A and B are shown apart, each in its own frame.
Chain A
Amino acid sequence: MAAAGDVFRQGLPEVGAGKLHVLAVDDSHVDRKVIERLLKISSCKVTVVESGSRALQYLGLDGEKSSIGFDTVKVNLIMTDYSMPGMTGYELLKKIKESSVFREVPVVVMSSENILTRIDSCLEEGAEEFLLKPVKLSDVKRVTDFIMRGEGKKGVEKSHKRRRSDDCTPPSPSALHSKKSRLSI
């Protein structure tokens, strides 16, 4: 039986559950099909939605439900496009990080535009990673492996240290490299 506290720890895959459940958000139909395939090949269960507001609806964060929701959906990773009409990926990221239920779920932002200020603000807001589009299978595998190893749970400790890269406890060489490679462009 899950204890009440477990409802709030959405970031970790359940022991023995096997597959990560990933929520992918993108307004482009082509990109939705591609990311879905990339995730399925990486052995993930995938839910794909076309907008930030649909994503919030799916997560139960759209203000419709009044209950805390012991039947909240379980998501281990959220991958979102940055540029979307209506709510941007950045705005979605903020809403997720403001949620007590989902704030520990790692969020990866994807964008076709390599804009340093954009990357910085997403990472500052708590994004796990920023991927340049078109996203490759190796990117997806790296991210999902990282989450599966449970290193996403260090998100709480890391988020306070994200701005001081010197003090960052390196989670793993490859993950730190990917973050640095985004920041050092």
Chain B
Amino acid sequence: MDKIHSHRQVAAIKHSLFDQGYLDEQFIQLEELQDDANPNFVEEIVTLYYRDSSRLISNLDHTLERNPLDFNKLDTLMHQFKGSSSSIGAKRVKAECTLFREYCRARNGEGCRRSFQQMKKEYATLRKKLETYFQLARQAGPLETAYRPK
């Protein structure tokens, strides 16, 4: 019974992540690539994303401190970051990236800084939520064991 309850919990968390727009279809696409031989593929990809993108984010931070702002460089960096975010299904983060790029094209430095701050918030929130989700999913174990007849 415990196992079934854990699985329901995991499903509920996942459901709310989608409901609240944190994740999109791409996350599901990635989950479908998991199998017995690669049961933690999505977690590995997400871990890789957070590790890799931290470099891009600090690069963006430094570039935003310059005066005058190099909008082309900012746009290029954000394009890379948006790409990776899109690849893991990070819907809200991706939306902020799009907004940021629009501000870049409009040469609006204040707008860039604002949306960058907002993006970092979404990025951090998603990380915490996904950490919880993956931890619970690992604890719950493979779905089959929950329904194994006694």
Contacts and interface: CB of A to CB of B under 8 A. Distances in A.
User: Helix, strand, loop or mixed for chain B's interface?
Assistant: helix
Contacts of B86: 112, 133-134
A161 interface: no
Nearest to B85: A30
A134 B25 CA distance: 10
A160 interface: no
A139 to B, nearest CB: 10
Interface string A76-109: 0000000100000000000000000000000000
Interface-centre pick from B30, B38, B83 (highest chain A CB count, 10 A): B83
A34 B30 contact: yes
Given A31-B83, A133-B87, A134-B87, 10 more contacts: A28-B87, A30-B52, A30-B87, A34-B87, A83-B79, A112-B79, A112-B86, A133-B83, A137-B29, A137-B33
A44 to B, nearest CB: 14
B104 to A, nearest CB: 14
A137 B31 CA distance: 11
A137 B87 contact: no
A96 to B, nearest CB: 23
Interface in B6-59: 26, 29-30, 32-33, 38, 41, 44-45, 48-49, 52
Interface of A: 27-31, 33-34, 37-38, 41, 83, 112, 133-134, 136-137
Q: How large is the interface on B (under 10, 10 to 19, 20 to 34, 35 or more residues)?
A: 20 to 34
B101 to A, nearest CB: 11
Nearest to B49: A30
- Going nearest first, the 6 A-B pairs with the smallest beta carbon separation are A30-B84, A134-B26, A134-B87, A112-B83, A29-B52, A30-B49
Contacts of B52: 28-30
